[in-house]
């Protein structure tokens, strides 16, 4: 087993002005499950492919353990990769599919058989070893793809959106299986996904990328509780965090009839560039319903109620039409999301008064997008 280090790793594709991955610095500990997450095109696959040796590194280095592998051939890196399109060989049995890489490497037949059987046991595939892929379910095929990686007992697993081809229910099931399998095998894993729920549920730590730039690395809890900037705040969490532009005056953040007190520390960390404005973030579950007149309360018009049984979410807008534009969420322009009591949800068209629970708002500089100390 081994750690993985990206040391200012940069990839500029030929013909492109801007790097697809820009001076990536990231250390993955031995045995760790690290998830690289971000929107489509942010450089996740490129990062993984640099680690695999499938993509040139234009500057910087990549290390596996203490070994600089920047110029090492992919086959000599002791890694195994699972892709989104993990096409299995249709004419080969499950066992032959799983053992193929070992066969190519000239591993003796008996040893291949033994390693395939071991992996099959771990993956619950023992009774399918003689079947052809077409006689398997989607989930079983996905496990065969995992098996191909496991039999090689590599130092590092690389996975690029390996669950994308599964339906929603199977994806949830399989992500738990992969996470627990990784913990059991203890093999250092770099896992790529665009799905922040997958990242939160699977990773020991999460690294968020945007436009080729690393935004933040941390445990799921850290990413959720203390996002470093507005982008991470809006990206991590489902339903998404509400983000509002407020005017700063009299020590408060003000928007229409809403006046939210700010601490001295927050006020002091604003600069002239912020232009007497502040961006406040508040998660749907950080809002309490209250009554008109409560200090800091603001009215929200209900557009839609999403009832999930265990939870209910109001999708609405700030009732003050002029101010409504100032608050957005990942759900859409000028929309706000409020978690409400699922046993007593409001109705479409109602007005609910809500208030940010004390200490649960996030403060950001509108000028830099960075989190303010509070
Ligand atoms: N082979 C390539 N040649 C040129 N540009 C590429 C190539 N592969 C990816 N890119 C560009 O690099 C950026 C990052 O791509 P990628 O790493 O595939 O993103 P992700 O996996 O996060 O969706 C994108 O802008 C993409 O268009
Ligand atoms: Mg990709």
Residue 47 CA, closest ligand 1 atom number: 17
What percentage of residues in the chain have a pLDDT greater than 70? 100
| List of residues 6+ apart from 76 with CB closer than 8 A | none
Residue 49 CA, closest ligand 1 atom number: 17
* Residue 330 pLDDT greater than 80, yes or no: no
Domain 4-234, CATH number (from 3.40.50.300, 1.10.287.950, 3.60.15.10, 3.40.50.970): 3.40.50.300
**Substitution site in 10, 11, 13, 191 for ligand 1 pocket (most atoms within 8 Å of beta carbon):** 13
Taking the C-alpha atoms of residue 285 and residue 273, their distance in angstroms, rounded to an integer, is: 31
Is 240-364 CATH 3.30.450.20?
A: no
Looking at residues 90-95, what average pLDDT do you find?
96
What confidence score (pLDDT) does residue 94 get? 97
Nearest CA to ligand 1 atom 26: 41
Lowest mean pLDDT among 141-150, 249-258, 266-275, 321-330: 321-330
Return the top range by mean pLDDT from 9-23, 155-169, 323-337.
Answer: 9-23
What confidence score (pLDDT) does residue 187 get? 96
The CA 18 to ligand 1 mean position distance, Å, reads 11
Looking at all shown ligands, the one closest to residue 38's CA atom is 1
DSSP 8-state symbol, 227: -
Which residue ranges make up each domain of the chain? 4-234, 240-364
* Residue 351 pLDDT greater than 90, yes or no: yes
What confidence score (pLDDT) does residue 199 get? 97
pTM of the model: 0.94
Ligand 1 contact via 18 beta carbon (within 6 Å): no
The answer to whether 266 and 363 have CB atoms below 8 angstroms apart is: yes
Ligand 1 contact via 362 beta carbon (within 6 Å): no
Nearest CA to ligand 1 atom 2: 13
Encode pLDDT of 261-302 as tens digits: 999 999 999 999 999 999 999 999 999 999 998 888 899 999
**Substitution site in 9, 10, 20, 235 for ligand 1 pocket (most atoms within 8 Å of beta carbon):** 20
Q: Residue 132 to residues 98, 128, 129, 144: CA-CA distances in angstroms?
A: 12, 8, 8, 11
Looking at residues 325-348, what average pLDDT do you find?
90
Q: What are phi and psi of 233, to 5 degrees?
A: -55, -45
Q: What is the dihedral of CA 255, 259, 263, 267, to 10 degrees?
A: 40
Topology match between the domains 4-234 and 240-364: no
Ligand 1 contact via 43 beta carbon (within 6 Å): yes
What confidence score (pLDDT) does residue 352 get? 96
- What's the mean pLDDT when you consider all of the chain? 95
Taking the C-alpha atoms of residue 88 and residue 142, their distance in angstroms, rounded to an integer, is: 9
What percentage of residues in the chain have a pLDDT greater than 90? 87
């Amino acid at each position: 087993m081994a750690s993985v280090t990206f040391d200012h790793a940069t990839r500029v594709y030929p013909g492109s002005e801007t790097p697809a991955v820009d001076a990536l610095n990231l250390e993955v500990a031995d045995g760790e499950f690290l998830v690289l997450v971000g929107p489509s095109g942010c450089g996740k696959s490129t990062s993984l492919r640099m680690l695999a040796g499938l993509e040139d590194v234009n500057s910087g280095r990549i290390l596996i353990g203490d070994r600089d592998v920047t110029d090492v051939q992919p086959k000599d890196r002791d890694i195994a990769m699972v892709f989104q399109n993990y096409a299995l060989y249709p004419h080969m049995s499950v066992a032959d599919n799983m053992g193929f890489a070992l066969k190519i490497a000239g591993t003796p037949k008996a040893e291949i058989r033994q390693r395939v059987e071991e992996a099959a046991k771990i993956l619950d595939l023992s009774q399918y070893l003689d079947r052809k892929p077409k006689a398997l379910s989607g989930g079983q095929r996905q496990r065969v793809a995992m098996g191909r990686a496991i039999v090689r007992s590599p130092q590092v697993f690389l996975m690029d959106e390996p669950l994308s081809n599964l339906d929603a229910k199977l994806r949830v099931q399989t992500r738990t299986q992969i996470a627990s399998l990784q913990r059991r095998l203890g093999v250092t894993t770099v896992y790529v996904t665009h799905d922040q729920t997958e990242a939160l549920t699977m990773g020991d730590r999460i690294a968020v990328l945007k436009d080729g730039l690393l935004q933040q690395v941390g445990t799921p809890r850290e990413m959720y509780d203390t996002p470093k900037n507005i982008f991470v705040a809006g990206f991590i969490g489902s339903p998404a965090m509400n983000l509002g532009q407020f005017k700063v005056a009299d020590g408060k953040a003000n928007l229409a009839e809403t006046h939210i007190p700010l601490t001295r520390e927050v006020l002091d960390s604003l600069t002239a560039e912020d232009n007497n404005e502040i961006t406040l973030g508040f998660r749907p579950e950080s809002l309490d319903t209250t009554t008109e007149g409560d200090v800091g309360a603001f009215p929200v018009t209900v557009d839609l109620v999403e009832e999930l049984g265990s939870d209910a979410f109001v999708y609405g807008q700030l009732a003050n039409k002029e101010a409504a534009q100032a608050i957005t969420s990942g759900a859409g322009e000028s929309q706000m999301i409020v978690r409400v009591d699922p046993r007593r949800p409001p109705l479409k068209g109602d007005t609910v008064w809500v208030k940010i629970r004390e200490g649960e708002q996030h403060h950001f500089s509108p000028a830099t997008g960075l989190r303010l100390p509070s």
